[in-house]
Amino acid sequence: MAVKYVESGAQAVPILYDWSDQELTQAFHSVNGVLLTGGDLDIADASPEAAQYMHAASLLLQLTVNSSQAGDLVPLWGTCLGLQTLAVAQAGNSSVLETFKFDTKDYSLPVEPAAAAWTSRLLRQLPADLRRALIQENITYNYHHDGVSPEAFQKNQRLAEMFSVLATNKDRHGSRFVSAIEGRHHPIYAVQFHPERSLYYWDADEQGINHSQHAVEVMRYFADFFISEARKNSHRFTSKAAERKALIYNYAPLGRSSYQSYVFPAASEMDWRTSWPRDASETMLV
């Protein structure tokens, strides 16, 4: 679904978190934006996989900040696990993440806007009717048990300096979590809910997803916003051939429902990475 979300206005390039720092850096300089997708990896775990994932995410976060400081605006977006990942990466440890605390499985909610919401880059251009829908209708689809509290963004200096909290929510039992943030000085955005699911996910067993006109329009706004941010930089592949080798079209999705996944080959079979270019057409990193 994240691929379809990106492909609504751009192209997708898969980047794997077990790549080397050099490969990740080359990838960053070849694409126009970075999207950290949702997932079920326990990033608070001490496993090698979690450590490897967090190292890659932290590098991408630092590359985003460095590029922004140099005037090269490359948006970094996090969805669900992506928001949690950005919070942990910026804080420098997983203590800001509350694990297995929130009951939001298959749960759609209106967001509760924070003071910074309507002056933020992310939300200030949202039309009035869609603002009302966002804060009054059950349209943001949640499916998580981990999250970050508003207090973490207040008490942790690194988080407070980097991010503005734009919205929060409460789970079924009244526990509050942050549902939208953006970078104070850099093009970094994240939401705890899943914008892509109202647009592309249809599962009879999960009745909480809202596919109403307002839900679709608001979630489409987020996709359009991310892609419009990606148009602000001139990252390119060096050739069309290099771009074609990198695109998601080289991999077939698996699954016969609206929930599909990709399986990527071993690193030894992806040797094109060693010649990642830095010049060509607009692509998105998923």
Amino acid 165: pLDDT:
99
Asked if 24 and 15 touch (Cβ cutoff 8 Å), the reply is: yes
Report how many domains make up the chain. 1
pLDDT (average), residues 151-158: 98
pTM of structure: 0.92
The pLDDT tens digits of the residues spanning 242-280 come to 899 999 999 988 887 778 888 887 655 555 454 444 333
pLDDT (average), residues 49-78: 98
Confidence at 22, pLDDT banded by 50, 70, 90: very high
By annotation, the residues acting in catalysis are 80, 194
Domain that holds residue 151: 2-285
Amino acid 283: pLDDT:
37
pLDDT (average), residues 130-142: 99
Tell which wins on pLDDT, 267 or 25: 25
Residue with tokens 């995410």: 57
Q: In angstroms, rounded to a whole number, what is the distance separating the alpha carbons of residues 90 and 62?
A: 9
pLDDT (average), residues 153-177: 98
Tell which wins on pLDDT, 277 or 211: 211
| Strand-pair category, 140-142 with 176-183 | unpaired
Question: Can you point out the beta strands (E) in 82-175?
Answer: 107-109, 112-113, 140-142, 163-170
Amino acid 282: pLDDT:
37
Q: What is the CATH number of the domain that holds 109?
A: 3.40.50.880
The pLDDT tens digits of the residues spanning 72-128 come to 999 999 999 999 999 999 999 999 999 999 999 999 999 999 999 999 999 999 999
Amino acid 46: pLDDT:
87
